[in-house]
């Protein structure tokens, strides 16, 4: 499932974004979640509180489709917004929390939760890095769920920066979804696996799909390893 990759992303986020802890949870709905990794006790507790109370930054980030950046949990707005989560999080030792949704358009995978023991906002470079780690974690989860093997996935994100994805990659995802009768997540994973198995760039493969020069056929059983 690429859990060790998730752990690496969390560790890197802590070092680069200058936060005290990071955690990744997979989510299938705003309140159904599975904590995959937490770098420390506080991060683990923040995940637990949000799961227990069904409220918190990650619930809002997942539902709203954008980051939730809280520079100071002890400010007035927070206890009104999350009456149960806020005091619990403060009690655990967190003062600032930054939650980034792990998503690619309609594909919603989970969240990356970062926290600091002191209040303060992310400076622009830290936000840029945090967004980058969220994109990386999202791809790890997409490939992990599809069973794309670790070496391939690892190579994958070195040359596949979602920030530079052309519109065609997303259009192709929609087309493959319709061709295979599958979910957007599976369609995206199939596109990626196809590109990496042939040592090609994702945007080239996407272009062929949009140009209707490449079609994907459903293969039984669905979600099998893509070895075509």
Does 54 participate in binding other proteins (rule CB under 8 A)? no
Query: 28, 32, 155, 178: which one contacts other proteins (CB under 8 A)?
Result: 178
Query: 58, 139, 153, 175: which one contacts other proteins (CB under 8 A)?
Result: 175
Does 32 participate in binding other proteins (rule CB under 8 A)? no
User: What residues contact 75, with CB distance under 8 A and at least 6 apart?
Assistant: none
- In the beta sheet, which residues pair with residue 23? 38, 113
Does 166 participate in binding other proteins (rule CB under 8 A)? yes
CA end-to-end span of the chain:
21
Q: How many residues bind other proteins (CB under 8 A)?
A: 37
Is the peptide bond prior to 221 cis by the omega test (within 30 degrees of 0)?
yes
Does 184 participate in binding other proteins (rule CB under 8 A)? yes
Q: CA 115, CA 94: separation in Å to the nearest integer?
A: 6
CB–CB of 44/23 below 8 Å? yes
Task: Compute the least distance from the CB of residue 29 to other proteins, in Å.
Answer: 12
Q: CB nearer to other proteins: give 48 or 72.
A: 72
CB–CB of 69/60 below 8 Å? no
Query: 21, 30, 132, 144: which one contacts other proteins (CB under 8 A)?
Result: 132
Task: Compute the least distance from the CB of residue 69 to other proteins, in Å.
Answer: 4
CB–CB of 182/173 below 8 Å? no
* Binding positions for other proteins, rule: CB under 8 A: 64-71, 101, 103-106, 121, 124, 127-128, 131-132, 163-164, 166-168, 170-179, 183-184, 210
């Amino acid at each position: 499932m690429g859990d060790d990759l998730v752990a690496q992303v969390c560790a890197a986020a802590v070092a680069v974004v200058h936060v005290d802890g990071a955690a990744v949870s997979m989510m299938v709905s705003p309140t159904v979640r599975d904590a995959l990794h937490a770098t420390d006790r506080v991060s683990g507790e923040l995940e637990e509180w949000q799961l227990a109370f069904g409220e918190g930054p990650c619930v809002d980030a997942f539902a709203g489709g954008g980051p939730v950046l809280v520079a100071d949990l002890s400010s007035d707005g927070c206890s009104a917004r999350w009456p149960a989560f806020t005091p619990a999080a403060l009690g655990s030792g967190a003062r600032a929390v930054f939650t980034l949704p792990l998503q690619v358009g309609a594909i919603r995978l989970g969240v990356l939760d970062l926290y600091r023991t002191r209040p303060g906002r992310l400076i622009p470079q830290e936000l840029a890095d945090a967004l980058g780690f969220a994109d990386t974690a999202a791809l790890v989860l997409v490939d992990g769920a599809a069973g794309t093997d670790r070496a391939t996935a690892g190579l994958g994100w070195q040359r596949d920066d979602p920030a530079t994805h052309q519109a065609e990659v997303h259009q192709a995802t929609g087309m493959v979804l319709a061709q295979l009768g599958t979910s957007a997540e599976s369609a995206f994973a199939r596109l990626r696996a196809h590109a990496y198995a042939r040592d090609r760039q994702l945007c080239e493969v996407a272009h062929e799909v949009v140009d209707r020069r490449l079609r994907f056929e459903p293969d039984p059983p669905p979600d099998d390893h893509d070895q075509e």
